[in-house]
Amino acid sequence: MLQLKQRLNPNQQPADSPEYPVLPENMFRGQLEGLLLDVSQFIGMSDSLLKSLLAMLRETRPSDWTDPSREPVCFAMQQNLAYTLGKDPRSVRRDEDTLEKRFGFISKNVAGNGSRCRLKFSDGVEFSQGLSFTPLIELVPELIALRDQLRYERQHSSRLKRKCSALRRNVKIVLMEFQTVHPDNAQLKQLSADYLSWPRRYNSFKTLEDLEEHYQDTLEASQVADDLRTMFQNMSGQPDSRVLPYIQDTTENPSVNCNASVNIRSDIKSDANINPSSPAKAEVSEGLENKCEGSSEERNSKFIENLTPQRLFWLSSDEMQFYITHHQGQRAMPSAMDFIQASIDRLAELGINRSAYNAAQEQMGDMGTALCILIIDRNRFHPETPIHNPGGVLRAMTKRDAAGILNITGSLIGLSERYKA
């Protein structure tokens, strides 16, 4: 019997051999399949090959991936796999060779005729022939790192696109407001040329590095636009309130009045006067400052007049302040664009998805949306009614703004009174 076992499997492991590698903690075969789906196209794996790999994985016992005393092995014959996949056996054979030699996901140990089996002898020693997935298990940490990098790049790309869009809108607003008034200004001409040279669609940027370079271009152009705005306002004698210079509804729609102020109105209804049966009321009531029923128009106006960039900065959460400071750089005071970019940086961390942000931006503009996110972010730690669903609250605030009943001023006053900013 011993000679038979040695002849069948001369490389069999003795009882005191090392344990087989297993999947990382809290990871099972199903999670591994999801991981492979996430990274397959980025490692050059075709859909057909991925389908074959997943079919082979499903021929293993789930427990073998987490049991160090067992090795996950696919014993299915090529003919059976071919039937399951709708392929011919030759194609399955090519897939197995590719998975072994190119990707290093399997170790192929089969009989000369291609047979695969598992035998267990009376003394507990096992003999197996098939497709071993031990090499794949050993590569899992690298695959996880790749997936994490891909997720970071995808999120970073999304942030950059949102920021570029906001910066572009800022440049467009300056051009729309001042180009006809100052047609011979050289800086405005150059700003217009830069704006017209930018690609209309972001898919023109093939790499993340190209998108980052475009972001720097739009950032510099937006800063030039801010400087020109200040200069032209001073030339015309317009008051410079220093309350977040030029906080306005920055939409892409050219028919929108570019001088419209952000929706911080003193004549809007307080939350206490909203119909309690309103869906928006049910969604947004948690964590917002609803105790400003007695706020008069005079009080609101005075608050807005005193709402300096520095004061709004201190109303922000620590996390928001970190991003505002980053974008502010060496400038003495943060600008409206610093708050806008900081709010975009906070989206993923708050769990606010793209559709919720886009809907808010289209309704309230860049700065209006930034103020809502600032309020939501700080009210996550409200002492009585903390916000637990920032994305849902932003959607509710967007609906309220569309209905003309969003009281941003009241919320900012409530934050100011609570934190004495």
Task: Report the distance separating Cα 207 and Cα 90, nearest Å.
Answer: 38
User: Measured between alpha carbons, how far is 348 from 342 in angstroms, rounded to an integer?
Assistant: 12
pLDDT for 418 equals 84
Residue recorded with tokens 């899992």 = 140
Q: Give kind and range of the element (H or E) at residue 140.
A: helix 134-178
Q: DSSP class of residue 24? A: P
CA 103 to chain centre: 30
Entry field: residues in the chain:
421
Q: How many helices (H) and strands (E) does the chain have?
A: 16, 4
Buried b (16+ CB within 10 A) or exposed e, 42-78: eeebeeebbbbbebbbebbeeebbbeeebbbbbbbbb
pLDDT of residue 69: 87
Whole-number pLDDT of residue 117: 63
- The confidence score (pLDDT) of residue 276 equals 33
Residues 6 or more apart in contact with residue 288 via CB below 8 angstroms = 271, 375, 379, 385, 387, 393, 411, 414
The contacts of residue 211 (CB under 8 Å, 6+ apart) are 157, 160, 161, 164, 202, 205
Q: Name the residue type at position 129.
A: Q
CA angle 92, 98, 101 (to 5 degrees): 135
Helix crossing, 336-350 with 318-328: angle to 10°? 140
In the chain, where are the structural domains located?
2-9+16-132, 154-240, 262-421
Q: What is the SS3 assignment for 339?
A: helix
What digits encode the pLDDT tens for the residues 346-385? Answer: 999 999 999 999 999 999 999 999 999 999 999 998 888 8
Q: What is the pLDDT of residue 373?
A: 96
Contact indicator for 335, 245 with CB cutoff of 8 Å: yes
DSSP class of 79:
H
- In the chain, the amino acid numbered 293 is E
Nearest to 418, CA basis, from 379, 390, 360:
379
Secondary structure E strands in 104-241: 107-109, 117-120, 126-132
Both tokens assigned to 103: 């990707």
393 closest CA partner among 412, 410, 379 = 379
The CATH number fitting domain 2-9+16-132, selected from 1.10.10, 2.60.40, 2.60.120, 1.20.120: 1.10.10
Contact 129, 115 (CB under 8 A): yes
Using left for φ > 0, alpha for ψ between -120 and 50, and beta otherwise, residue 26 falls in left
Structure tokens at 142: 């690298």
CA distance 362 to 251: 7
Can you give the pLDDT of all 421 residues of the chain as single tens digits?
334 444 445 445 444 555 889 999 889 999 999 999 999 999 999 999 999 999 999 999 999 999 998 889 999 888 999 999 999 999 999 999 999 999 999 998 866 555 666 656 555 556 568 899 999 999 999 999 999 999 999 999 999 999 999 999 999 999 999 999 898 999 999 999 999 999 999 989 999 999 999 999 999 999 999 999 988 888 866 654 433 443 333 333 333 333 333 333 333 333 333 333 334 343 443 445 444 444 456 666 666 667 788 889 999 999 999 999 999 999 988 999 999 999 999 999 999 999 999 999 999 999 999 999 999 999 998 888 899 999 999 999 999 999 999 988 888 888 888 876 5
Provide the token pair at 123: 């003394």
How many CA atoms within 13 Å lie on the side-chain side of 243? Answer: 13
Could you write out the DSSP letters of every residue in 4-29?
Answer: HHHHH-TTPPPTTPPPPP-PPTT--H
229 contacts 246 by C-beta, under 8 angstroms:
yes
DSSP state of 63: G
- What's the one-letter identity of residue 223? Q
Q: Is 287 helix (H, G, I), strand (E, B) or coil?
A: coil
